[in-house]
A = this chain, B = another copy of it.
Amino acid sequence: KTFPAWRVDSPQVTPTRRHNSRSTSLIQNGSINVVFCKGPSRLSTRSHTCGELCSRHIGEEVTLCGWVQYLRQDLFVILRDFSGLVQVLVPHDESKHELRNTFCGLSVESVLMVKGRVKRRPEGQENKNMPTGEIEVCAESVEVLNTCRTLPFEIKDFVKKSEAMRMQYRYLDLRSPQMQANLRLRSRLVMKMREYLCYQHGFVDVETPTLFKTNSWGIEFLVPSREAGKFYCLPQSPQQFKQLLMVAGLDRYFQLARCYRDEGSKPDRQPEFTQVDIEMSFVEQGGIRALVEGLLQYSWPEEKGFVTTPFPCVTYEQAMQDYGVDKPDTRFGMKLTDVTEIFQDTRIGWMRDAVTQSHGCVQAIRVPEGSKHLKGKDMESLKNTAQTQFTQPLPLTSCCLASLLQRPLLGKLRLQCAELLEGHGVRVRDPAVFHFLWVVDFPLFLPKEDAPGQLESAHHPFTAPVPQDVPLLYSEPHKVRGQHYDLVLNGCEVGGGSIRIHNSAQQRYILQNVLKEDVVLLTHLLEALECGAPPHGGIALGLDRLVSIIVGSPSIRDVIAFPKSFRGHDLMSNAPDFVVEEELKPYCISVVWPSVEGADRSPAPPPED
């Protein structure tokens, strides 16, 4: 007989410890048969998981717990748990008619505990498509642990559901094999990352606060405190804390950090997301990059292939030149090629205009098999992109696209060509292949969009300049390169970091003189740099995005257990929601209803959701 495996851990059970009739009876029986269950069945009321059963178990008595996937011909119940499916044979001899009746009345997705014996399936009835297809379990008893009402959709990967439906009944959506696999892969990946960082490199896992001080207005969530007018904010990243930990001499810090960004409108962003946050003292750029390469190689899921290191590395300038983008997808070629010289003496009017202009040039993308596949509608769509993004008509020859100066457009056209070709069945980007790329030597500052005469940080104001560019800080700051590095995977930015400024005078100069910022908000950081700050640097990897690329999902919502909708809503619990006026009082805030602005003391009844 099979008993729950938690008996294994504590054979010295005292009667007061157990409260369910089952274990009490075990103790009364006197003799305890201990089954050494494998990991996921230890301490459980089951003896095995459904998916693990195979011919090795033939003859064994097992206790399974799971969901009714479906009933077949009143003869079989397919039972499912997280590990897979197994066929349960419903006995048909008269002595077992009560057992049979229980099975036959079951609704799909009911929860059962089945005890029975594992048997080899009769010859010819094996199912090669099912990992447990060699065996079946002859039911000897069944307990219905819970029933299930009619569901809004079936639990099968191939059943198409609307996004809203999936979100509203997320607990059902998560039962699908794909979502189960995604969350489990994520958990395994993260655990391996922790092993690598803790055990191979001496990192310390430190939690940093999420109730912080506001810094960058507009994209930070605010949290009202009970002191009138004072707010915490939910930080975009633990940037300041990780640097302060280095000043604190913690040496090597990492955290799977929850971060917050209030920019609901952008596609495939979440108001809260997770980053693998890393910071090291006494390190140079190469050290961080080698660390991350090793991290990904070590933690990469075996079934997804081997990650080769070191990753290739290009400068920002080179990436823009070759791909028209700072996060190139290097799984395919079609690089931008400068053909200005070839067309130096051209008589084609629009090209002439280009080459004679100062800094004018003609660039081409060679699209392999382009002339074969890209016709009519495709060409139109490429032209449209050019026109809408570039504001002037883009002539297209049969096998090349040409344009002037603006590389980002060309980068876009390159990707569009890839998409169009793929639409025709040409394999351009292999989804099973992972191309990592470092992009380095970004400019440290960029002209402000709304005031091009002023500079702003290309990444953040704590990035250290490239050492040989430091003199330029004081003369031509726009020419200074930063010690920043981006990690790109298949054309997506999956990480970014930098060597930080550890010199307080340099940090103050950049904040005050270059960026013209109010340094009062950063007093604590500037003070910290004066107190013996070590050289340090780090990186943050976007975990949600990384996992979504690994599992080949188009959306990060498929690798987050309970994501928000595009509009930032939790469609299951209906968050955010209205709160009673009473609840706002302790926080000294009141709602300003848009329609009745200026008269918000007695708010209008909340509008319909």
Contact = CB atoms under 8 A, between A and B. Distances in A.
A374 interface: no
A213 interface: yes
A287 B44 contact: yes
A39 B44 CA distance: 38
Chain A residues touching B, range: 35 or more
A441 B561 contact: no
Interface string A286-311: 11111101100000000000000110
Contact of A229 (B171, B245, B291, B606): B606
Residue from A81, A190, A228, A252 having most chain B Cβ neighbours under 10 A:
A228
A435 interface: no
Nearest to A574: B213
Which 7 pairs of residues, A with B, have the shortest CB-CB distance? A40-B202, A174-B248, A213-B575, A148-B532, A43-B287, A6-B290, A230-B576
A200 B247 CA distance: 37
A286 B592 contact: no
A171 B223 contact: no
Contacts of A585: 592
A223 B218 contact: no
Contact of A214 (B12, B310, B527, B583): B583
B562 A241 contact: yes
Interface in A60-119: 65, 67, 80-82, 109-111, 113
Contact of A228 (B14, B286, B592): B592
Interface in A502-546: 502-503, 524, 527-535
A213 B573 contact: yes
A344 interface: no
A347 interface: no
A356 to B, nearest CB: 34
A276 to B, nearest CB: 12
A225 B39 contact: no
Contacts of A313: 14, 16-17
Contacts of A583: 214, 217-218, 222
Interface string A576-609: 1111101111111111111000101101001100
Contacts of A169: 527, 531
A564 interface: yes
A272 B207 CA distance: 11
A501 to B, nearest CB: 11
Interface stretch (A180-188, A325-333, A377-385, A419-427): A180-188
7 contacts: A20-B467, A21-B467, A80-B249, A109-B532, A217-B579, A222-B583, A589-B590
Interface stretch (A121-129, A191-199, A407-415): A191-199
A10 interface: yes
Contact of A291 (B6, B210, B561, B590): B6
B290 A43 contact: yes
